[in-house]
Amino acid sequence: MYTHLQERYAQRPPVNISVLNKMKAEGHKIACITAYDASFAALIDDADADLVLVGDSLGMVIQGHGTTVPVTLEDVIYHCKAVSRGLYRPFLMADMPFMTYASREQALNNAVRLMQEGGAKMVKLEGGASQADIVEFLANHDIAVCAHLGLKPQSVHKAGGFRVQGRDEATAEQMRREAKLLESAGADAVLLECIPAALGAQITQELQVPVIGIGAGPDTDGQILVVYDVLDITSGPKPKFAKNFMSGADSPLAALRNYVTAVRSGSYPAPEHCFLPLSNSPLSQAIEHRNPSTTK
Ligand code: KIV
């Protein structure tokens, strides 16, 4: 089924870090999405997405857990192998699960397994300043790393729930500092989850590396969504930033193409998918100035 991908896509060179950096430099939005199996991966490739993440969200949407904490390295490798068989053009990134990067050596061994066994080209880990040392160690071993800031689902039990982050000036400032620190440590990309749109815009402007957002407003260099949210497969209440792209589409492929087009054109995310800071902070004034119609 996938054996002729190389020939089918010979006109479309695979995305790599240089392509992502060029897209940022030229202001072309990066369309990213999660995948967990070969069939969805092939559809996402057909839809022309730029980057695919084998996220530890698989613990929730595939395995039915309430959090991403139970996901193991073996789980991500298994799904990453399947996804890599369905992809040709998009850049493949894999999540390092909870507690698989607690020390430098553990992080290196596990990142190597994600790349050699899973086929990942970049690994993503959740962390702020305390992870800079790990990011630097991986980067010094020529491993491409994406640092995940903002809402960090692996910390849900410590944080006391899934909450929007960086809503007040002090935590926003800290996130800006941590993003710069992680970039200096060698991170090749930063992912921002569930933060005010104005903070997403500031961090994106301040970093040289591409910044991918999920619930981080319209001004990040790219957007990512969980494929099950794009295709409205997830049951129950949806996060504020999610959008059902099946609405008005006659097939999953059409919905995925609509998502990629909406990210590239900037029509997604719209104001209703964005978070605001707490009302009295300077960040709040920044976003109200940019978009007075946005409701809190
Ligand atoms: O695990 C995941 O799918 C993620 C996205 C929410 C960015 O980290």
Q: Which domain holds residue 81?
A: 15-295
- Is the CB of residue 124 less than 8 Å from the CB of residue 94? yes
Q: Is the CB of 110 under 6 A from ligand 1?
A: no
Q: Is residue 96 part of a domain?
A: yes
* Centre of ligand 1 from the C-alpha of residue 38, in Å: 18
Q: Is the CB of 57 under 6 A from ligand 1?
A: yes
The answer on pLDDT for 287 being more than 80 is no
Q: Is residue 193 part of a domain?
A: yes
**What is the count of structural domains for the chain?**
1
Give the pLDDT band of residue 281 (cuts 50, 70, 90). low
CATH number for the domain harbouring residue 171: 3.20.20.60
| Mean pLDDT, range 45-53, rounded to an integer | 98
Ligand 1, residues 51, 53, 56, 238: which to mutate, most atoms within 8 A of Cβ?
53
* Centre of ligand 1 from the C-alpha of residue 218, in Å: 18
Question: Would you call 288 a catalytic residue per the annotation?
Answer: no
| Mean pLDDT, range 238-245, rounded to an integer | 96
pTM for the predicted model, two decimal places: 0.92
Q: Is residue 271 part of a domain?
A: yes
Instruction: Give percent of the chain above pLDDT 90.
Output: 86
Residue 289 confidence (pLDDT): 34
DSSP H/E element including 294: none
Lowest pLDDT segment from 62-66, 99-103, 288-292: 288-292
* Centre of ligand 1 from the C-alpha of residue 280, in Å: 30
Q: Is residue 210 part of a domain?
A: yes
Q: Is residue 126 part of a domain?
A: yes
- The single residue of 126, 178, 183, 193 carrying the catalytic annotation is 193
Which ranges of 100-251 does DSSP label H, i.e. alpha helix? 104-116, 132-140, 156-159, 169-185, 197-206, 227-230
